[in-house]
Amino acid sequence: MALHLDYNAATPAGVTTSIPLLIAAIALGGSPAISRNRDEVRVAFDHAPPNVEGKRMVAVVVNYPPGGSSPPHRHAASAFIYAHVLSGVVRSQVGDEPAKVYRAGEGFYEMPGSHQRISENASDKEPASLLAVFVVDSMDDPLTTADPAPSRSH
């Protein structure tokens, strides 16, 4: 199944890299998500509903280790997202709204084109996970793109 997320692949120029880098990192001895205290994302469902032409529905499970986070990112321009916290406690900030904390069983949504400034485990002792369901244009890819790395000035 194709992974349509690109959290960790932005370059300063905003160009994204591909899955071969992820495969190479894993082949060299570990999980890049856990080694950098980052999220681990797994596609649980990706299907085009037969009654909604031009759209697809994608569900992903995001696992955060204790203290783990996703880098700031933007979602596809067409993506409406519902997120449901499965376990633990997740802190989220979308756009200019204040950061909010969600506990297991709670959920929130994001409008198309949202900018996720913070998405992290609010605990440094317990893991957390959430289910994010995207309703997106069939051809809108990637679903998520990391913000460009800030440039370093000397």
- Going 7 to 13 to 19 to 22, the CA torsion angle's sign is negative
* Cis before 49 (ω within 30): no
3-state secondary structure of 33: helix
Whose tokens are 């909604």? That residue is: 52
Q: What does DSSP say about strands 73-75 and 69-70: parallel, antiparallel, or unpaired?
A: unpaired
Instruction: Please give the pLDDT value at position 49.
Output: 94
- Tell me, what's the pLDDT at 33? 42
Residue 92 confidence (pLDDT): 97
User: What per-residue confidence (pLDDT) applies to 39?
Assistant: 87
For 6-23, b/e burial (b = at least 16 CB within 10 A) is bbbbbeeeeeeeeeeebe
What is the pLDDT, as a whole number, of residue 18? 33
Domains, the chain, ordered by start: 5-146 (2.60.120.10)
The answer to whether residues 36 and 55 touch, using CB atoms and an 8 Å cutoff, is no
- Residue type, position 81, single letter: I
CA-atom Rg of the chain in angstroms:
15
pLDDT of residue 48: 96
Can you give the pLDDT of all 154 residues of the chain as single tens digits? 333 444 444 333 333 333 333 333 333 333 444 445 888 999 999 999 999 999 999 999 999 999 999 999 999 999 999 999 999 999 999 999 999 999 999 999 999 989 999 999 999 999 999 999 999 999 998 999 999 988 776 5
